[in-house]
């Protein structure tokens, strides 16, 4: 099977998620062509997931595809953006059509759940990795940045943390925790409400304390977190909720209670960094070159 035949297999596996609505030219030309809704801005991010580093290379290909898509879309969720298009750059070791079709099926499932359209991609040969370039839209001026938190705001997270890190620590022996790792939900479902209420937001990808530190630094404030309030995924330990990454819930700040379920974990105060029960923390999360 040559490169172009394999691309056909992948595009077939994407099904309806590679066509429709705002996508005027989809996979097959030099580039895609899409139309943004009037009065919107383009919100863009890219993520790379490398086998053996970000996911086990022998995992179910549908899970690999689903997770890669959701992990990447999570950055749009953190901006309060609604998904527009995704470009997928696949680097594969072999031309296994069944494996590639399953991978495409997982990506398609995640795209369908979030309203994203897969507009194009690239196929290379090499060590297994996926780069997902994700693009969303927000009404002009409405993007939620990391930098808007102000003293007096409260700090929220959108769901329980630590499940993905616990799954990894357990060697993927616990089916329920595995779902946290392989089937995360990018919280793009909250986009409109987040834009309405949040002063700042970030997705919890590198670990809650580290990501809270990024938000604090960007806003020039201190996040004062009460450890007992941090929601811990059933079956996970507190340590994973605080320092483990890969949960893809959102951490955000707001001056008013949000109109969706979220857990208040602390407040924004003058200063810098993150306090955990009043003690400064040197945030530790996942760093690729540490």
Cα gap 160→132, rounded to integer Å? 25
Choices 108-116, 134-142, 174-182, 262-270 (CB under 8 A): range interacting with a second copy: 134-142
Nearer to a second copy, 140 or 239 (CB): 140
Tokens at residue 240, please?
């994973």
Residues 180-209 that bind a second copy (CB under 8 A): 201-203
Q: Which stretches within 129-256 are classed as H helix?
A: 163-169, 175-182, 191-197, 208-219, 238-243
Helix axes 97-114, 61-78, angle to 10 degrees: 30
Beta carbon of residue 212, minimum distance to a second copy (angstroms, whole number): 14
Q: How far is CA 188 from the centre of its chain?
A: 9
| Residues that contact a second copy, how many (by CB under 8 A) | 70
Spatial contact of 193 and 260, defined as CB atoms under 8 Å apart: yes
Residue 19 binds a second copy, judged by CB under 8 A:
no
Q: Footprint of a second copy on residues 147-166 (CB under 8 A)?
A: 147
> Does residue 272 interact with a second copy by CB under 8 A?
no
Specify the stretch interacting with a second copy by CB under 8 A; choose among 79-87, 164-172, 183-191, 219-227.
79-87
Dig out the tokens for 228 from the structure.
Answer: 């007992």
Nearest 10 degrees: CA dihedral of 26, 74, 253, 286?
Answer: -140
Cα 38 to Cα 58: distance, rounded to the nearest angstrom? 43
- Residue 42 binds a second copy (CB under 8 A): yes
Check binding of 218 to a second copy (CB under 8 A).
yes
Which residues contribute to the site for a second copy (CB under 8 A)? 1-4, 6, 24-25, 28-36, 41-50, 53-54, 75-76, 78-79, 81, 85, 87-91, 94-95, 119-127, 129, 131, 133-136, 138, 140, 143, 145-147, 201-203, 218, 287-290
């Amino acid at each position: 099977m040559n490169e172009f035949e394999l691309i056909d297999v992948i595009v077939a596996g994407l099904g309806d998620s590679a066509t429709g609505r705002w996508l005027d030219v989809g996979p097959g030309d030099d580039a895609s062509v899409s139309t943004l809704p009037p009065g919107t801005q383009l919100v863009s991010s890219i993520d790379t997931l490398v086998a053996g580093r970000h996911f086990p290379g022998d995992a179910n290909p549908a899970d690999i595809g689903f997770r890669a898509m959701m992990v990447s879309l999570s950055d749009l969720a953190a901006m309060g953006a609604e998904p527009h298009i995704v470009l997928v750059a696949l680097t594969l070791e072999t031309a296994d059509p069944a494996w590639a079709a399953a991978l495409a099926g997982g990506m398609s499932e995640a795209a369908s759940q979030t309203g994203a359209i897969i507009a194009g991609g690239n196929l290379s040969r090499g060590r297994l990795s996926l780069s997902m370039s994700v693009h969303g839209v927000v009404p002009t001026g409405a993007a939620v940045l990391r930098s808007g938190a102000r003293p007096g705001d409260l700090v929220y997270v959108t769901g329980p943390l630590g499940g993905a890190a616990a799954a990894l620590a357990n060697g993927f022996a616990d089916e329920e925790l595995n779902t946290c790792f392989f089937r995360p939900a990018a919280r793009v479902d909250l986009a409109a409400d987040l834009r309405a209420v949040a002063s700042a937001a970030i997705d919890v990808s590198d670990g809650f304390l580290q990501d809270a530190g990024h938000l604090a630094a960007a806003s020039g404030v201190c996040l004062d977190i009460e450890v007992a309030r941090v929601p811990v995924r059933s079956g996970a330990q507190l340590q994973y909720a605080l320092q483990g990454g890969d949960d893809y819930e959102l951490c955000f700040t707001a001056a008013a209670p949000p109109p969706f379920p979220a857990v208040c974990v602390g407040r924004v105060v003058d200063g810098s960094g993150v306090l955990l029960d009043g003690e400064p923390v040197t945030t530790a999360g996942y760093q690729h070159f540490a």
